[in-house]
Amino acid sequence: MSKKIIGIFSGKGGVGKTTVASNLAVVLAKSGKKVTIVDCNLTASHLNFHFNFHLTPLTLNQVLKGEAEIEDVIYKFENLNIIPASLDPYETMGIDISKLSKVLKRHVKSQDYILLDTAPGFGKEALEIMEICDEAIIVSTPDIQAITDIIRGKRILEDSSVKVLGIVLNKVTGKKFEFTKKEVEALTDLPVLTEIPFSYKFLESLALRIPLVLYHEKSLPSLKFYKLASHITQEKIFPKLGISDKIKLLLSLKLKRI
């Protein structure tokens, strides 16, 4: 498999990149793929909080500074590999993110997918990360600011060699003032891969530090990550649903309780 390093980008912050990256990584790993997720948001690293650990002693920062080996900073969440970044702001000094490709090289060979969770924006840092990606997913909320940031950043993406798979539209409520999938596609000229509804379950799952696909496994938002994983792998990946799960899902859709 050649297309395996996937960057998760956004124009605007807080749209759900780390949430999408974490849940997608868990689904891919659950389906038997060898997956590593890397926290490339060195100035505001949050990946640890989405899993049940934080304050890891060694991080990507030490590897980029030449003070540790990549194998020293791979933490396990079941069969998923997580490479966290430091929470200490002083540890971002003197770090060159362009070294990421070199330090990851050996590890990439052993994995099916490497997901890179990035800092928001299409500035220098994002560009460096884009350089090492085979494919990119853009996460956005359906509002004017986030969509404008994508339109602004699109030329930068087009100039890089990365293949943009499309947009994950997140925190969708379906309210009239939101851009619809069709409008987002027309404005950005990119396909919307999936729409993830706004759900307080994401906030609960973050507070408990369990990715939503494990915390609220048989829910509509969870199924959206299976859809995304199926799109990426070109394989059918879905959770086992019994008849009562299906009825519950249908009712939650009808009653708009997601």
Question: 9-32 in b/e burial notation, b at 16+ Cβ within 10 A?
Answer: bbbbeebbbbbbbbbbbbbbbbbe
The total number of residues written for the chain in this structure: 258
Q: How far is CA 103 from CA 38, 143, 150, in A?
A: 12, 37, 29
DSSP state of 168: E
Among 4, 5, 9, 10, binds ligand ADP (CB under 6 A): 10
Among 18, 141, 170, 194, binds Mg ion (CB under 5 A): 18
Residue number, 177 or 234, with CB nearest to ligand ADP: 177
Site residue total, ligand ADP (CB under 6 A): 17
Residue number, 18 or 219, with CB nearest to Mg ion: 18
At its nearest, how many Å lie between ligand ADP and the CB of residue 205? 7
Site string for ligand ADP, 171-210 (x = CB under 6 A): x------------------------x-xx--xx--x----
Residues with Cβ within 8 Å of 221's Cβ and at least 6 positions away in sequence, in order, are 196, 197, 199, 201, 202, 212, 258
CB 169 within 8 A of CB 42: no
Residues with Cβ within 8 Å of 83's Cβ and at least 6 positions away in sequence, in order, are 36, 37, 38, 39, 59, 60, 70, 73, 74, 75
**Taking CB under 6 A as the criterion, which residues in 103-132 touch ligand ADP?**
none
At its nearest, how many Å lie between ligand ADP and the CB of residue 102? 25
Contact range with Mg ion by CB under 5 A, out of 39-47, 48-56, 104-112, 183-191? 39-47
Q: Which residue is nearest to Mg ion (CB)?
A: 18
Choose from ligand ADP, Mg ion, none: what does 10 bind? Cβ within 5-8 Å by kind. Answer: ligand ADP
Asked if 118 interacts with Mg ion (CB under 5 A), we say no
At its nearest, how many Å lie between ligand ADP and the CB of residue 44? 8
Find how far residue 43's CA is from the centre of its chain.
17
Distance separating alpha carbons of residues 86 and 92, to the nearest angstrom: 8
Residues that bind ligand ADP (CB under 6 A): 10, 13-19, 46, 170-171, 196, 198-199, 202-203, 206
